[in-house]
Amino acid sequence: MEGRAVLKEKICVYPGSFDPITLGHLDIIQRAGNIFDQVIVAVAKNPSKNGGWMPVAKRKELIYSSCRHLKNISVDSFEGLLIDYMEEKKASVIIKGLRAVTDFESEFQMAQLNHQMKPTVETLFMMTSPQYAYISSSAVREIISFQGDVKELIPQVILEEVMNYRKNIT
Ligand code: COA
């Protein structure tokens, strides 16, 4: 056949609350970026999390600052069903991180439901690197609320901003 084959760009979506982004999230973003042409980090406006600790716009800003050194990462937000967002972005792979067995049950359920609603969407899981397996955004928020040290838990470039953010809301 004449002509050049047009290779389709491999896009994945890494969804989450990212309230705030942690080193564990950044680990997954970097590794996904090594595999896919483009990684869209998508902040969910999740009504079940009561609006969250930080506004979505601030969370996006912090993700953007943390990923500035990475070439193929974009930051976005979405409302509603993840599969509808996947359709909008013409993406067919959802990336999720698994930290421990305890994550498995809920992640398995979400992956199955998403697959049932839209079979063309695949969820791929990456094991979180062991040094980050104990980190969660809620633990970060709690430590910060007691003025504890989170420098080993969140990206260095956003440390000052997150600590200042806390001071401004208390
Ligand atoms: N490193 C560090 N922490 C991690 C991590 C990693 N690699 N992976 C997950 N976590 C943490 C998160 O910070 C979060 O911590 P928190 O609960 O203390 O805030 C926790 O693990 C849960 O993460 P996750 O499972 O990604 O949940 P989430 O709340 O961040 O995001 C959505 C869940 C937004 C992806 C999901 O609710 C969704 O798709 N919503 C859209 C609506 C929809 O489509 N619903 C139908 C789905 S069945």
* DSSP sequence for 151-165: TTTS-HHHHHHHHHH
- In one-letter notation, the amino acid at residue 48 is S
pLDDT in tens, 59-110: 999 999 999 999 999 999 999 999 999 999 999 999 999 998 888 999 999 9
Q: Considering the chain, what percentage of its residues have pLDDT values greater than 70?
A: 91
Q: Which two tokens stand for residue 14?
A: 């890494």
Ligand 1 pocket (Cβ < 6 Å) reads 15-17, 19, 22, 24-25, 28, 44, 46, 81-82, 97, 99, 110, 113-114, 128, 132, 135-138
Tell me the pLDDT band of 170, cut-offs 50, 70 and 90.
Answer: low
Give the nearest ligand 1 atom to 107 CA: 25
Quick one: which of 124, 64, 54 has its CA closest to 96?
A: 124
The confidence score (pLDDT) of residue 6 equals: 63
**Ligand 1 centre distance from Cα of residue 134 (Å):** 15
Check whether 25 has a pLDDT greater than 80.
yes
Q: Which residues are catalytic?
A: 25, 49, 99, 137
Residue nearest to atom 23 of ligand 1 (CA): 16
The confidence score (pLDDT) of residue 4 equals: 62
CA distance 81 to 56: 17
Q: Count the neighbouring beta carbons within 10 Å of the beta carbon of residue 88.
A: 11
Instruction: Tell me the pTM.
Output: 0.92
**Ligand 1 centre distance from Cα of residue 1 (Å):** 45
**How far separated are the first and last CA of the chain, in Å rounded?**
66
Give the nearest ligand 1 atom to 22 CA: 2
Residue nearest to atom 4 of ligand 1 (CA): 136
Q: Is 45 in contact with 69 (CB distance < 8 Å)?
A: no
Average pLDDT score over residue span 2-13: 75
Q: Is 133 in contact with 163 (CB distance < 8 Å)?
A: no
Q: What is the CA radius of gyration of the chain?
A: 17
Q: Which two tokens stand for residue 144?
A: 């910060």
Handedness of CA 139, 53, 30, 151 (dihedral sign): negative
CA distance 169 to 55: 12
